[in-house]
């Protein structure tokens, strides 16, 4: 299974939350949507979630579903309160200037798939 350190490295992602040993965090699946109601219904545990939504509520959703990390696309920037809350909840927030289509394509090339 692929780990988060590899993804951060290959996709050149900026880590917004506290540094940790990302090689120990495994990523089972990928998921993408910007509607949090859909994410709550559809994102599998230990998946990596790709979204351009940067609102504070993304942290609670990721914590609820025990997601491995969130990749925030198109340079959208969560506010400091959101980053602080993510650190408290142990959620890793990653950022890129690329759009969601590009990021999902890169993840797919790394072998990450949607849940079957």
Partner 1 sequence: MKKYKADLHVHTVLSPCAEIEMLPPLIVSEAKIRGIDLIAITDHNASANISAVQKAALGSGITVLPGMELQTKEEVHVICLFDSIEQIVQFQNIVDQKLPPIKNRPEYFGEQLVVDDKGDFVRKEERLLITSTDLSINEAFNLVDEIGGIFIPAHVNRKANGLLEILGFVPVDIPILALEISRHISPKDVKIFYPQINSFEIIQNGDVHRLSEFIGTTIFEIENPSISEIKLAIRKEADRSYFVNSIT
Cα dihedral 92, 35, 42, 102 in deg (nearest 10) = -60
Piece in contact with partner 1 (CB under 8 A), picked from 4-12, 24-32, 49-57, 106-114: 49-57
- DSSP assignment of 58-114 equals HHHHHHHHT-SEEEE-TT----HHHHHHHHHHT--EEE-SS-HHHHHHHHHHTT---
Piece in contact with partner 1 (CB under 8 A), picked from 16-24, 33-41, 42-50, 94-102: 33-41
Query: Does residue 107 belong to the site contacting partner 1 (CB under 8 A)?
Result: no
Query: Does residue 79 belong to the site contacting partner 1 (CB under 8 A)?
Result: yes
Nearer to partner 1, 12 or 64 (CB): 64
The CA distance from 16 to 112, in Å, is 22
From 23, 35, 111, 114, residue interacting with partner 1 (rule: CB under 8 A): 35
Interface residue list for partner 1 (CB under 8 A): 34-37, 39-40, 53, 55-57, 60-61, 79, 81
């Amino acid at each position: 299974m692929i780990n988060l350190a590899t993804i951060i490295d290959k996709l050149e992602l900026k880590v917004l939350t506290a540094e940790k040993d990302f090689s120990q965090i495994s990523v089972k699946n990928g998921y993408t949507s910007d509607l949090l109601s859909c994410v709550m219904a559809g994102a599998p545990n230990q998946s990596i979630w790709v979204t351009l939504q940067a609102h504070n509520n993304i942290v609670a959703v990721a914590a609820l579903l025990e997601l491995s990390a969130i990749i925030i696309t198109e340079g959208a920037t969560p506010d400091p309160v959101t980053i602080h809350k993510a650190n408290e909840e142990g959620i890793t927030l990653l950022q890129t200037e690329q759009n969601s289509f590009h990021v999902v394509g890169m993840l797919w090339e790394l072998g990450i798939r949607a849940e079957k």
